[in-house]
Amino acid sequence: MRADLLAGATYNPAVMPSPVPTILVFDSGLGGLTVFSEILKARPDARYVYAADDAAFPYGRLSEAVLAERVIAVMERLIGTHDPDLVVVACNTASTVVLPHLRARFSIPFVGTVPAIKPAAQTTRTGYVTVLATPGTVARDYTRDLVETYAAGCRVNLVGSRRLAGIAEAEMAGEPVPDAELIAELRPCFVADEGGRTDVVALACTHYPLLLPRLQALAPWPVAWIDPAPAIARRVTQLIGPPVPGHEADENEAMAVFTSGAGIGPALRGALLDKGLPVVAVEEMPLSYG
């Protein structure tokens, strides 16, 4: 990690070549935008590259071996091209598998996104906690270990949704799906029996907070929805420190990079611009299982 960017450091041009850090935020698609928005609020001065590996979307269906190989290959290319000071893997499905590989391979710091099971267990009053994730994340040993370590006293309902990430992508592309489709994905999250009912849903896929207003409106009863994005943004600022006064990136250069670019239409470009990403680029990296 760049010691010169640690919290509290005073900018000294002799030892600090760039007081404006470049932060690469990475996901399989648009879900990482929920994390990007929080990081942008905390460090509006930084230089940003948001990378969506849409050529391999959805990650939730890939085997762990294929996913690890894919993320390392894409990261190799992105790091080579954009030279970030820090990478945020804004994807639970990837983080629960590839973080150790990435940290072994590259010397820059990686901040991951993993299911917020500990905060969920701390929040519940009934002890009925749902973890809503992709099928991949639900199947991970990593996720099961988090449940054992932090939520052993809770009744944890792991729900792997096959469709929600795609539904969130459609929403961002200006093609929202009907309520009935969302309700079908939500139904298994809500458990009620003689012992109590679900009062916390951890959103363990970064795509899902994109749908939060609709999820709240369609839920059969109110629950606490846990979105890990603010905690991730705090971790990023811990690692790179506060802004250096008088130095900031040109916000017109913040860039979204797609590995396929197949779904980029005017609605999505508008949504990216609204999120603070005016530049859109395609770096083609087709997925091969070779």
**Residues in touch with ligand DGL (CB under 6 A):** 27-29, 31, 57-60, 91-93, 134, 137, 165, 205-207
> CB neighbours (10 Å) of residue 7?
10
154 is catalytic: no
* Position 237, amino acid: T
- Give ∠ CA 283-288-290 in degrees, rounded to 5: 140
**What is each CA distance from 244 to 13, 86, 93, 230, in whole angstroms?**
11, 16, 34, 21
Q: Is 126 helix (H, G, I), strand (E, B) or coil?
A: coil
91 is catalytic: yes
* Signed CA dihedral, 227, 146, 30, 98: sign only: positive
* Closest distance of CB 112 from ligand DGL, Å: 10
* Closest distance of CB 16 from ligand DGL, Å: 33
* Closest distance of CB 30 from ligand DGL, Å: 8
Residue number, 120 or 249, with CB nearest to ligand DGL? 120
Q: List the catalytic residue out of 35, 55, 91, 256.
A: 91
Phi/psi of residue 111, each to 5°? -110, 125
* Closest distance of CB 53 from ligand DGL, Å: 8
Residues 6 or more apart whose CB falls under 8 angstroms from that of 274 comprise none
Residues comprising the binding site for substrate? 27-28, 59-60, 92-93, 206-207
Residue number, 19 or 48, with CB nearest to ligand DGL? 48
Residue number, 57 or 150, with CB nearest to ligand DGL? 57
SS percent in the chain: helix, strand, coil, step 5: 45, 15, 40
Q: List the catalytic residue out of 205, 232, 272, 277.
A: 205
Which residues are identified as catalytic? 91, 205
